[in-house]
Amino acid sequence: MSTDLDLPKTWFIDIDGVIFPHNGYLNLPEGGFEKPLPGVLNFFKKIPKGDIVILCTARKEIYREITEYSLNKAGINYKVLLMELNTGVRVLINDKKNNEMITAYSINLKRNSGLDENEIKNVIK
Ligand SMILES: [Mg+2]
């Protein structure tokens, strides 16, 4: 099995417990915004320019404004924000390249542990 880290990627990244503290948006003061977990901003800075980021969350659409406000305040860039997903398991399906190159990965992080680029590099080789 081969992989190619240099190929452009599409990242599907969860928000609660990965980017921001889990469910922190439910207890924000008036006019407040969420602050990213450790390593998140550094991780996003290292995503190559040609890659695409799709953010995923089970948050209801009524929280889109505060979510986008918090993301904007943090300087987190993304292409799409998918909301009202199920709170359960996420599954990604893709076809391998003809040379058997792996084209789908999943990483299960400990809730609110932050984004450690080294942990992700250990999975995507
Ligand atoms: Mg989550």
pLDDT of residue 1: 46
pLDDT of residue 102: 87
pLDDT of residue 98: 85
Report the half-sphere exposure of 23 (CA within 13 A, side-chain side): 2
Q: How many CB atoms lie within 10 A of CB 67?
A: 23
CA 114–ligand 1 middle distance (angstroms): 12
Could you state, in chain order, the average pLDDT of each consecutive group of 10 residues for the chain (125 residues)? 71 97 94 96 92 97 97 98 97 91 91 88 70
Identify the three-state secondary structure at position 50: coil
CA 23–ligand 1 middle distance (angstroms): 9
- The reported pTM is 0.91
C-alpha distance from residue 31 to each of 27, 65, 69, 71 (Å):
11, 11, 10, 14
CA 16–ligand 1 middle distance (angstroms): 4
Question: d(Cα 52, Cα 78) in Å, to the nearest integer?
Answer: 7
Hey, what domains does the chain have and what are their CATH numbers?
Answer: 10-121 (3.40.50)
CA 53–ligand 1 middle distance (angstroms): 16
